[in-house]
Structure 1
């Protein structure tokens, strides 16, 4: 592969896919990716790029290695909104290592969640909450405090609301739909049904919490499990910690409770009342011989919120929190605000550990770098590095300065300053498929995509 500069390596030139990317706005003007209505997302191991446009209501999936892309125009009704978020999701956990083992999740500004295969087939459609989906985030959690085993999860962020879906439940549903697509059962089944009707699909179990105690949020994330309150140490519930950023409070923290049990009386009442009501309705139709009224498809009623306990918040008017990025373990969060500052937050202690100034419109991604390795060993193509060989860093893309800076965590120096062209975005695969089937550790990488030239480059791991 051709090298670009000393710290970037070219991965692909997507000029051959310009026809597909043009459907999302590529080539319309210089710096077209600066449009906030354009949503790029990089697939696992940077094998594919998903690009969505809210204005054009289109999703484009382009293979990085070349070949034909896919253009999907989701069939969204007037009550289902427009595309507002895109994310990649594995279909079957660590076993889904191939190109067919992933799906693309699409969120809308009316609270609908849709999943597509790489071929553009609809796998699932579900209404989550009647508000704009600000962000979709799939996390691979392998080691967490207060957790006996890691679990993948998908979080959905709304203004003032956050939803959570367990990775096992999500992948079970998607894998079932994917198998039906492969065997052509899906197509035959829905030739005579309304494929856009949510009732045609099952429902993925999702929990939602209200996190608007300190004001509506612009971004949020579930950072992991946390210990329960003192009076609930023997409770069967699990408790998550959520961090939000927004206009009223730059940073807020909440404890989210997961109710894993249900009272026997409540279960009996809910089923008994429903069965009784159904019986009375049937008898009344027989007695009065009324004509059945046409059923109108309506949006399912949003489920009730789970328990939320506010922990703390930071208010600093007129500063407003804008974006939040989590480290791989969830113990650090990089938060950008409206005054050009970047706050590094320890999510366990809920204290700020670092602050940068002068980075307006910046975006941040965590990256793992090989630091202070001798050139002979670092240049070896057969050397397999372990997790301990890598150093956690923060990559800051400052578009107004036209640079990318790499800082060592938590309090280390600035290691790199890399110039980047206008109209570029830094991207990162949401899943790495880091499992035992791969002999070497898969580090967290950062990619740079130039929308105008179509050049995709990766930040080199070696420093020094």
Structure 2
């Protein structure tokens, strides 16, 4: 009997553009820390930070897209590419780039620059686009919540863009592109790099327990005790870092500035103004100073620390969030994986022996205890799937699937060395002729063969 394969090949992304990233020239090129990857059901984006190079590759033949190479013209002051993420909004798709100097750039799938603005001074560590399911689109006060959001992580801060604001900018760009030929040039400095205006955002400082290396806004939380109900919402943010393995914060929409925000909004601009005056007197560079003074710093909103876990010499490394945001899988420097309940803010499970591991949540049909609620054999509902955690251990060359929260290990799959696991920021749209539920899946990109595969959603 032939041995069952738990992977289904999707496509091969092998092309001449990958040679620019080192494919076929050195073993383990996908494991290069300078290489960044982002997956969408229609396309794969690969970027190299030190080369300032971006490659967009099609993976869906029905999607009109061809391999595109982009070299963002970043100056020394703007830094280099430090994070990438796909931004799907309804029928629109764009790619977000974050730089080591705090700039956000939005590109179309054809390589046109849509938008550019400075978010916050500092290195952008992560860009995280998150879509919310219909059952969690109402917050604790009953107000409507956007179905998408973009979270930007800095070493000591986190920013949030509302999905509706980004979608509105996409629409304006499409209307402008339809009315005239888009010249695809970089916006000039005279336009302040924002031809369609700045996208409004919220910014919080989360460095109470030290800088972080990863963070996420996990959802909406109730207001503090003894505080009157109001129209403003509170978010919960979880961060991981070197000083505190896990930290939690309550983020308020209140624009009341904290001490740090007051310093940044009052003292720093005054200092820049004084330095600018001295510079004009000495160097007579009035034009240059005028341009620099136009960049305004976004003040911090109120962030209240809730709890933290300090366990030296353990250091937090990466974090993956479940679809509902109620669970977070955190890897640390001691080869452990911690499962955090983001509502109770307690660690509910721990695995050992997974150095340099990567984790992603997925949904799987477990055949041995399946109680299908589907009326047709070919259709499956949400209740047919169980939430699982996929742990990729590159040193062992395996992927393990564990059932959440306290379930057993369901599957161990061997995978080639030099491979990485990926997950789209949005699920692929189900066929209009089918009402079958589309589960959350995990994909594997093989660095040697450039083959993209998907892990089976049926286990047992």
Shorter-chain TM-score tier = 0.7 to 0.9
User: How far apart in 1 are the matches of 2:309 and 2:186?
Assistant: 54
Contact kept in structure 2, 1:123 and 1:178, CA below 8 Å: no
User: How far apart in 2 are the matches of 1:323 and 1:418?
Assistant: 22
Superposition misfits of 4+ residues, deviation over 4 angstroms: 190-197, 433-438
Q: Is 2:317 aligned against 1:326?
A: no
**Deviation, structure 1 residue 231:** 2.8
Q: Supply the RMSD in Å over aligned alpha carbons.
A: 3.0
Task: Report what 2:169 is aligned to.
Answer: 173
SS at match of 1:21: helix
Task: Report what 2:21 is aligned to.
Answer: 24
User: How far apart in 1 are the matches of 2:3 and 2:322?
Assistant: 27
Task: Report what 1:51 is aligned to.
Answer: 46
Q: Is 2:80 aligned against 1:82?
A: yes
SS at match of 1:180: helix
Task: Report what 2:158 is aligned to.
Answer: 162
Q: Deviations over 1:398-433 (max 9, x none)?
A: 000000000000000001100011110000000126
User: How far apart in 2 are the matches of 1:182 and 1:429?
Assistant: 29
Q: 2:438 aligns with which of 436, 442, 445?
A: 442
Task: Report what 2:287 is aligned to.
Answer: 294
Normalized against structure 2, the TM-score is what? Answer: 0.85
Q: Deviations over 1:277-309 (max 9, x none)?
A: xxxxxxxxxxxxxx9953642261221100010
Q: Deviations over 1:350-383 (max 9, x none)?
A: 01110000000000000000112699x99x9961
SS at match of 2:198: coil
**Deviation, structure 1 residue 445:** 0.3
User: How far apart in 1 are the matches of 2:189 and 2:180?
Assistant: 17
Q: After superposition, where does 1:170-209 map in structure 2 within 5 Å? A: 170-187=166-183, 197-209=192-204
Q: Is 2:55 aligned against 1:60?
A: yes
Q: Is 2:104 aligned against 1:113?
A: yes
SS at match of 2:169: helix
Q: 2:423 aligns with which of 411, 428, 437?
A: 428
Contact kept in structure 2, 1:228 and 1:239, CA below 8 Å: yes
SS at match of 1:232: coil
Q: 1:293 to 1:318 in 2, by over 3 A?
A: closer
Q: After superposition, where does 1:239-388 map in structure 2 within 5 Å? A: 239-259=234-254, 294=287, 296-298=290-292, 300-372=295-367, 383-388=378-383
Alignment gaps of 5+ in structure 2: 258-283
Contact kept in structure 1, 2:160 and 2:202, CA below 8 Å: yes
User: How far apart in 2 are the matches of 1:454 and 1:423?
Assistant: 11
User: How far apart in 1 are the matches of 2:351 and 2:172?
Assistant: 47
User: How far apart in 1 are the matches of 2:255 and 2:378?
Assistant: 46
**Deviation, structure 1 residue 23:** 2.4
**Deviation, structure 1 residue 236:** 2.4
Alignment gaps of 5+ in structure 1: 263-290
Q: 1:431 to 1:180 in 2, by over 3 A?
A: same
Task: Report what 1:277 is aligned to.
Answer: none
Q: Deviations over 1:25-57 (max 9, x none)?
A: 3223110011111001101xx221000000110
Q: 1:458 to 1:195 in 2, by over 3 A?
A: farther
Q: Is 2:458 aligned against 1:462?
A: yes
**Deviation, structure 1 residue 384:** 1.6
SS at match of 2:247: strand
User: How far apart in 1 are the matches of 2:186 and 2:314?
Assistant: 53
Q: 1:332 to 1:195 in 2, by over 3 A?
A: farther
SS at match of 1:200: coil
Task: Report what 1:418 is aligned to.
Answer: 413
User: How far apart in 1 are the matches of 2:445 and 2:376?
Assistant: 25
SS at match of 2:19: helix
**Deviation, structure 1 residue 111:** 0.4
Q: 1:242 to 1:434 in 2, by over 3 A?
A: farther
SS at match of 2:209: coil
Task: Report what 1:285 is aligned to.
Answer: none
User: How far apart in 2 are the matches of 1:213 and 1:106?
Assistant: 27
Contact kept in structure 2, 1:164 and 1:208, CA below 8 Å: yes
Residue-pair matches, total: 423
**Deviation, structure 1 residue 127:** 0.4
